[in-house]
């Protein structure tokens, strides 16, 4: 018996300033559930970006890589003495707060034009460079 793949639109997480953000799915399979942290700016462009018309694909992004990502503080892991109903409840609460943090980070990234209708534009690498990598006592570039 033949099987048929039916394409369906991904669920939209949010729309902000005209930029739409959609869920992605494990193996592009809706039934396997939405990815928690990976989203796409193009509903046609799912996991891996391999079917994307733009190569390399710039529609996919991981919310944890946005400069605006501020995760809530995690409770202790549910192991050993921490494997308590209270701690499980704390984790459920955490995941709800994390959902809010995801929306907040994406909206803020759109406002910074880090996310646009067509691409994720990560902040320039030099912004992330650690200034402490230059020894403090030396100033080889100071023009004296």
We find the least distance from the C-beta atom of residue 8 to Zn ion, in angstroms, to be: 17
Q: Does 49 bind Zn ion (CB under 5 A)?
A: yes
Which C-beta is closer to Zn ion: that of 11 or that of 96? 11
Cα 81 to the chain's mean position, in Å?
Answer: 32
Per CB under 5 A, which region of 9-17, 28-36, 37-45, 100-108 contacts Zn ion?
37-45
Cβ atoms within 10 Å, residue 114: 20
Per CB under 5 A, which region of 15-23, 54-62, 105-113, 122-130 contacts Zn ion?
54-62
We find the least distance from the C-beta atom of residue 100 to Zn ion, in angstroms, to be: 27
Element (H, E) at 60: strand 60-62
Per CB under 5 A, which region of 16-24, 45-53, 64-72, 106-114 contacts Zn ion?
45-53
Pick from 112, 22, 98: nearest CA to 68:
112
We find the least distance from the C-beta atom of residue 127 to Zn ion, in angstroms, to be: 24
8-state DSSP, 35: E
Bridge partners (DSSP) of residue 40 are: 22, 60
Q: Does 21 bind Zn ion (CB under 5 A)?
A: no
Which C-beta is closer to Zn ion: that of 39 or that of 68? 39
Helix, coil or strand: residue 119: coil
Q: What's the CA gap between 72 and 111, in Å, rounded?
A: 21
Q: Which residues contact Zn ion (rule: CB under 5 A)?
A: 45, 49, 52, 57, 59
């Amino acid at each position: 018996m033949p099987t048929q793949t039916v394409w369906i639109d991904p669920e939209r997480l949010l729309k902000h300033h005209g930029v739409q953000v959609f869920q992605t799915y494990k193996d592009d399979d809706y039934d396997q559930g939405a990815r928690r942290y990976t989203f796409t700016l193009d509903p046609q462009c799912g996991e891996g970006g391999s079917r994307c018309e733009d190569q390399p694909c710039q529609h996919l992004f991981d919310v944890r890589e946005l400069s605006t990502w501020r995760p809530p503080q995690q409770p202790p892991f549910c192991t050993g003495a921490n494997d308590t109903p209270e701690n499980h409840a704390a984790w459920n609460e955490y995941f709800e707060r994390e959902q809010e943090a995801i929306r907040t980070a994406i909206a803020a990234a759109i406002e910074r034009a880090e996310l646009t209708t067509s691409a994720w534009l990560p902040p320039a690498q030099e912004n992330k460079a650690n200034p402490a990598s230059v020894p403090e006592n030396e100033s080889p570039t100071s023009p004296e």
